[in-house]
Structure 1
Amino acid sequence: MIGSNPPAQESQNAAARCIDRSGKRIALTGGSGRVGTALRQFLAEQVTSIKIVDTADPGPLGANESWEQVDISDGEALATCMADVDAIVHLAGYPNEQGIDDILRVNVLGTHNVLEAARRNAISRVVFGSSNHAVGFYPRETRVSETDPMRPDSLYGLSKCWGELEAGLYFDKFGIRTLNIRIGNAGDRPTDARALRIWVSSRDLAQLVLIGLEHPDITCTTVFGISQVEAGWLDNRAAAALGYIPADSAQSLAGPDTALERPSPMPHIAEFFQGGRFCVIDHDGTLRGRLR
């Protein structure tokens, strides 16, 4: 609801804003990847320890970091690996479109295995790296909130919908609390017009992760992983209600390249929908409207 918050909620939000550290030992799947590596730099001093779970070598480790070479598609190995952590931050998986067999094996089964590892090890908190592509087939003129129906723009986006839905199942059945972060464009700075509307810094993403690890009101909760953006497409009041105050601004880091969209073979599709070029993959080229 839009309006002033009652005193109890104001007090709760003030407490949430103070979440700048977690005493939890976390497992970070995909911690060797681009987003995971950048996130570790901000989480290193904010959590007790980070166990990187990845098939790829993460390179030099921090003082409170370790690495286990585990494939998330191997459920038994993953469950064993998670036996000594308090929470899981799940970023592993293909970050772009792939064939259905790879999407099912890694993104879908892998996320299932993460939730199963949490259940088997009595881990009560998961932070799931979802994606804006879970709602990528909304027109750019539509402002989307976490309560709007999912409209994935790709098999990749569909796999993120699966992860969010299964996280809900695992809360309802087992009480595992998950913050689904629909990550926008994660990088050092926005690099095109679309990224300018959905960009997120590593520092702001780390803030959301800490909220996911510690906020008392997380159930199966969905927010958008975006920093301060102007004329954005995503309504992130749910994150603000949890105390999220982005520190970084997309516009302050924008260069001349953000005036233009990246080239696409179907600009009438890519520049109409929020998912951009992901919407173009295997598209037949006909622009369709759909009731919300």
Structure 2
Amino acid sequence: MTRVLLTGAGGELGRVLRQSLAGSYDLLRLSDVSDMDPAGPGEEVVRCDLADAEAVQAAVDGCDTILHLGGMSVESTFEIILNSNIRGTYNVYEAARKTRARRVLFASSNHAIGFHTRETLLDASAELRPDSIYGVSKGFGEILARYYFDKFGIETVCVRIGSCFEMPMNRRMMSTWLSSRDFTSLVKSVVAADRVGFAVVYGASDNEPQWWDNRQTAFLGWRPLDSSAAFSQEPHIVNETTDPNDPAIKFQGGGFAAAGHFED
């Protein structure tokens, strides 16, 4: 029996997974701080603030796998990031430890490594170089996941999600784009694997050019089927002008790397 908790189920990616994973597991429990549509067949819906440790433990209880997408998905103030992404992720792992959940898919981000230059090919062993406080929170989540695996045996696949939209919005996303179909197949691969240990996967489709190398996690058996090449002749891609000295062009994090400190 496979019982899965999806945090952040009311967000954009959460809604994608809710639809694409429907009927895949014995139970899909959906949690978010916001209101969601009523539960369908095989679903449970629970409202949960990730900063509330007791509420998080109740949401995790009885689930063997957690798809942790919840939290702030963009740059924000430290206080907001602290509660939603740092404290919230800690609460998820503590709940997993207390309830004996076996595996977590942690939705990390390319912004955890956003200050690497675009000409640097990264793999799972790449140094964390966050481009924002948001990216720092994702780096924290990855390190926390490593700790909970080493000390308590809770497996985690950290997915450094690129840009999961209907299509690439600019030329940067020609490298970072992740289709919803490929994201769903990655999630299913993580849930179904016999063992994952602690792993880092770059969430991107089979794009050209490529900035990220997933060979270290080939054991998951995930093979993206889509490619941003299908959008290479879109006018907004062809006609985009860039300055090679702009930090948004130099660094993989794009606009996050170029932006000033959020608190200023």
* Structure 1 and Structure 2 fold alike (TM over 0.5): yes
**1:58 alignment partner, one of 36, 40, 49:** 36
The answer to whether the aligner puts 1:185 opposite 2:199 as a matched pair is no
* Rounded Cα–Cα distance in structure 2 between residues aligned with 1:60 and 1:203: 24
User: CA RMSD, aligned part only?
Assistant: 1.9
* Rounded Cα–Cα distance in structure 1 between residues aligned with 2:228 and 2:22: 24
Q: TM-score, length-normalised on structure 2? A: 0.93
Please name the residue that 1:259 is paired with.
238
* Rounded Cα–Cα distance in structure 2 between residues aligned with 1:193 and 1:171: 37
* Rounded Cα–Cα distance in structure 2 between residues aligned with 1:222 and 1:60: 33
| Greater CA drift, 77-86 or 140-149 | 77-86
Per the TM alignment, residue 136 of structure 1 is displaced from its structure 2 partner at its CA by 0.4
Q: Is the 8 A contact 1:193 1:261 kept in 2?
A: yes
Q: Is the 8 A contact 2:242 2:249 kept in 1?
A: no
1:100-111 aligned within 5 A:
100-111=78-89
**2:77 alignment partner, one of 76, 89, 99:** 99
TM-aligned CA distance change 1:270 to 1:252, over 3 Å: same
Please name the residue that 1:142 is paired with.
120
The answer to whether the aligner puts 1:131 opposite 2:109 as a matched pair is yes
Q: Is the 8 A contact 1:129 1:183 kept in 2?
A: yes
The answer to whether the aligner puts 1:77 opposite 2:60 as a matched pair is no
TM-aligned CA distance change 1:166 to 1:62, over 3 Å: same
Per the TM alignment, residue 238 of structure 1 is displaced from its structure 2 partner at its CA by 2.7
**2:14 alignment partner, one of 36, 50, 59:** 36
Please name the residue that 1:195 is paired with.
173
Code of the aligned partner of 1:67: V
**1:271 alignment partner, one of 249, 252, 255:** 249
* Rounded Cα–Cα distance in structure 2 between residues aligned with 1:47 and 1:227: 24
Per the TM alignment, residue 217 of structure 1 is displaced from its structure 2 partner at its CA by 3.3
Note the alpha carbon deviations across 1:88-128, whole angstroms, 9 max, x for none: 10001111101111111110000000001101101011110
TM-aligned CA distance change 1:176 to 1:282, over 3 Å: same
SS at match of 1:160: helix
User: Unaligned stretches of 5+ in structure 1?
Assistant: 1-22, 284-292
Q: Is the 8 A contact 2:93 2:148 kept in 1?
A: yes
Please name the residue that 1:245 is paired with.
223
SS at match of 2:250: coil
Count of aligned pairs = 260
Q: Is the 8 A contact 1:31 1:53 kept in 2?
A: yes
Q: Is the 8 A contact 2:199 2:217 kept in 1?
A: no
Code of the aligned partner of 1:220: F
SS at match of 1:223: strand
SS at match of 2:260: coil
SS at match of 1:185: coil
Code of the aligned partner of 2:108: S
Code of the aligned partner of 2:177: W
Percent identical across equivalent pairs?
Answer: 40
Code of the aligned partner of 2:91: N
TM-aligned CA distance change 1:141 to 1:90, over 3 Å: same
* Rounded Cα–Cα distance in structure 1 between residues aligned with 2:166 and 2:241: 17
Code of the aligned partner of 1:141: E
| Greater CA drift, 237-246 or 125-134 | 237-246
User: Unaligned stretches of 5+ in structure 2?
Assistant: none
Please name the residue that 2:27 is paired with.
49
Code of the aligned partner of 1:161: G
Please name the residue that 1:233 is paired with.
211
Per the TM alignment, residue 38 of structure 1 is displaced from its structure 2 partner at its CA by 0.8
Code of the aligned partner of 2:71: G
Code of the aligned partner of 2:184: A
TM-aligned CA distance change 1:62 to 1:267, over 3 Å: farther
Q: Is the 8 A contact 1:90 1:126 kept in 2?
A: yes
* Rounded Cα–Cα distance in structure 2 between residues aligned with 1:219 and 1:262: 43
* Rounded Cα–Cα distance in structure 2 between residues aligned with 1:150 and 1:259: 32
SS at match of 2:199: strand
